[in-house]
Structure 1
Amino acid sequence: MDKQDTGIVEGLAPAEDGGLNDLLEKIPVLAGLSRRVVRLPGGLTNRNYRVVAAGVDCVVRIFGNEPELPIDRDHEFHNSRAAAEAGVGAPVIDYLPEHGMLVVGHIDGVTLSEELVRRPGNPARVAESCRRLHQGPRFAGDFDMAAVQDQYLATVRTRGFRLPEGYLANMEYVHRVRAVLDATPVTTVPCNNDLLAENFIDDGEQIRIIDYEYSGNNDPCFELGNIWSECHLSLDQLEELITAYFGRPRPGKVARAQLQGLMSKYGWTLWASIQQATSSIDFDFWSWGMEKYDSAVAICSDDRRFERLLDEAALPE
């Protein structure tokens, strides 16, 4: 029997099937239509489904319950529309905050892996997409990892969640990084701020950027440093990314991106601690966070490298 004719949901437990169909009926463009639904892989906070119905091919994003990780869903909606207007994000079809859903158009393409991001030529293509996003409409809200880290750390300590060994002692390095970044302020731009490889989709012409949950106006070097961190780029690949983004070699920006990547690692480590303690998702958040933490500590513990990054990031260009 053709599942598209019956409206059966693929790859889901029967209880989820029924509850999901009830939610999908609340979306005007899908209500009353026979549809085919497939749960998409990934997603550590939300559930994502591709839904195909008559004349509609979309992704329905159902928000998770994250009281310890305050996420502004109105900002996510606004910024998703801005990213679409910039020509990088998926078109926004609907937003139903009362039901915890955002509906965007499905992008037909290849979801990138870390290996694909690192493939020769792709760092430059990623840089072009970031530049297009950053030159687009201003986002709602700002994102500053220093402030986010402070907020996450307060939550972890107040709730008694687990902290990596030496985390508080190593904040000495974080404060030094913050001092350099604060002393060399830049004009902020609309950033995704969470560019792991799976948030890039190659549609055959350009690399598109999805998922604006943590989006906000930010230092462009945070975006680039976060890509370096999340996609495990080599320093040569980071230089390629920076050169393509700025149009010429910028050693100071390479250093700044590494420092912002360091801030990213420290901040998301705490995100992982909170998720490990509160999330119902079957995922080893702690190991995921410790990989970031250990990588950050390795950079800070290399005195010569760390001091050079601070010096180079502070130099005028």
Structure 2
Amino acid sequence: MPDPSADPIALITAWAGGPVTITEIEGGRGHRVARVEAGGGRRWLLRVLDPGVAAAGLGLEPETEIANTRQAAVSGVGPQVVHRLAGLPALLLEDIEGRALDAAAVREPDLIPGIARACRRLHAGPAFANDFSIFAELEGLLGLCRRRGLPVPDGHADRLPAVADIERALAHWPLPAVPCHNGLLPQTLIAADGGEVRITDYRLSGNHDPAFDLGDVAAEADYPADLVPMLAGAYFGGPDRRLFARVALYRIVSDLVCALRSAVRHGLLVGPADPRAGERTRRAVRHLDDPAFGRLIDDARGLPSF
């Protein structure tokens, strides 16, 4: 059982055998993330998981995230787990040497093959402790908004029939579920000094359709139209209309789900409404209203092109 009175810094100091320096890092999405430095040039990342994130429907239960983080480390893509703090849902992780990416970097064509390789390595690794469905996630977040009286972004509800169309189209040619990240924000990607891209933060991880991770990368970095087939081709080994359509449709769903997550996060954990929720919904709506949307549905179903 976690011990809420346990002090992570005292535990780390005792484990490290001497004083440590802590530098808090923003962007933990409700969890505490900090860089820890100790004597002898030793350095790690501390990740302390807040059970309130899972309670708000915004992440995994801490023990599941910890289990998946260990599995991602086995694949070589995730950071190595250095130490589990006794009595706490907290890990000391490898502090990966390299450049943390932003959206502009994730859009760099030269980096796209490395991002695709990182996804393939994660997807080929050991299975995670849980399964994940982005469509179930959407339903769960909508239910949470109804129960807690949280506002849904304008225009979101009107597009749910199109989401159902996407789910049916993707079900025609399902891909085997693999260990997926399911939350590939640009800052979760690190261009490591060794030349490979590494992936951090397994808050939303679970076994899922591999094409979702690609669509999520495209959504989070706001890919222009020409980069989506480039990422899909780099991952799948060449052009394939059905697989490209799968990635493009998941990109739309990712935007809609992330809009809901923003609404829930700011309604339950942070406070005022997040303008990004509306932005993500409007972006999804643009893709849904694009004349090419119907062709994507047909391609995902494997229908012939005339």
CA RMSD in angstroms comes to 2.2
Instruction: Summarize deviations over 1:111-164 as a string: whole Å, max 9, x none.
Output: 011111111310111001111111111111111010111111101011110112
The counterpart of 2:18, out of the listed 33, 41, 55, is 33
Aligned-pair CA distance for 1:29:
6.3
Letter in 1 for 2:83: D
Matches of 1:148 and 1:28, distance apart in 2: 39
Instruction: Summarize deviations over 1:200-241 as a string: whole Å, max 9, x none.
Output: 111122010000010011101100000000011122211111
The counterpart of 1:297, out of the listed 282, 285, 294, is 285
Listed as ranges, the matches of 1:243-254 within 5 Å are: 243-254=233-244
The counterpart of 1:42, out of the listed 8, 18, 27, is 27
Letter in 2 for 1:22: D
Q: Tell whether the 8 Å contact from 1:24 to 1:30 is kept in structure 2 after alignment.
A: no
Aligned-pair CA distance for 1:307:
0.5
Q: Tell whether the 8 Å contact from 2:6 to 2:87 is kept in structure 1 after alignment.
A: no
TM-score normalised according to structure 1 size: 0.87
Matches of 1:315 and 1:135, distance apart in 2: 25
Matches of 2:62 and 2:247, distance apart in 1: 27
Listed as ranges, the matches of 1:114-193 within 5 Å are: 114-193=103-182
Task: State the match for 1:258 in structure 2.
Answer: 248
Cα distance change, pair 81–316 in 1 and its aligned pair in 2 (3 A): farther
Letter in 2 for 1:168: A
TM-score normalised according to structure 2 size: 0.90
Task: State the match for 1:51 in structure 2.
Answer: 36
Matches of 2:87 and 2:256, distance apart in 1: 33
Cα distance change, pair 293–86 in 1 and its aligned pair in 2 (3 A): same
Task: State the match for 1:241 in structure 2.
Answer: 231
Aligned length in residues: 296
SS at match of 1:76: helix
Listed as ranges, the matches of 1:13-28 within 5 Å are: 22-27=7-12
SS at match of 1:201: strand
Task: State the match for 1:10 in structure 2.
Answer: none
The counterpart of 1:95, out of the listed 81, 84, 91, is 84
* Structure 2 runs not aligned, ≥5 long: none
Task: State the match for 2:297 in structure 1.
Answer: 310
Matches of 1:316 and 1:309, distance apart in 2: 10
Is 1:288 the counterpart of 2:276? The answer is yes
* Structure 1 runs not aligned, ≥5 long: 1-18
Aligned-pair CA distance for 1:31:
5.3
